[in-house]
Amino acid sequence: MSAEKFAAMLFLLVPQVVHLIADRHSLAEEEAVKRFYDSRLYALLEDEQTKLWHYSPLMLFTMYDEETKTGEITFPEEAA
């Protein structure tokens, strides 16, 4: 995937994940953005090679939520 297409994919995906974080954790959008950008999951999502951008916003939120609660990220089987 070209860098431009990947950036466009993130541009569409990240706001949806941030909205879920804000909604489910009762946070302001700005705080949700900060927390997501500071997460290990976001760092992995930024790397096109991880293919995490294939996942739905809800799946990414679930992975983020697990990271915040346990410090670990469980990758769905299809990521292997």
Q: What is the pLDDT of residues 15-25, one digit of tens each?
A: 999 999 999 99
* 40 located within any domain: yes
- What is the model's pTM? 0.88
* 79 located within any domain: no
* 19 located within any domain: yes
Region 59-66 average pLDDT:
97
* 29 located within any domain: yes
* 27 located within any domain: yes
Q: Are 32 and 17 in contact (CB under 8 A)?
A: no
Residue among 19, 4, 5 nearest 60 (CA): 19
* 78 located within any domain: no
Domain that holds residue 30: 3-72
Give tens-digit pLDDT for 43-58: 999 999 998 999 999 9
Number of domains in the chain: 1
Confidence of residue 78 (pLDDT cuts 50, 70, 90): low
DSSP 9-73: HHHHHHHHHHHHHHHHTT--HHHHHHHHHTSHHHHHHH-GGG-GGGS-HHHHHHHHHHHHHHS--
* 14 located within any domain: yes
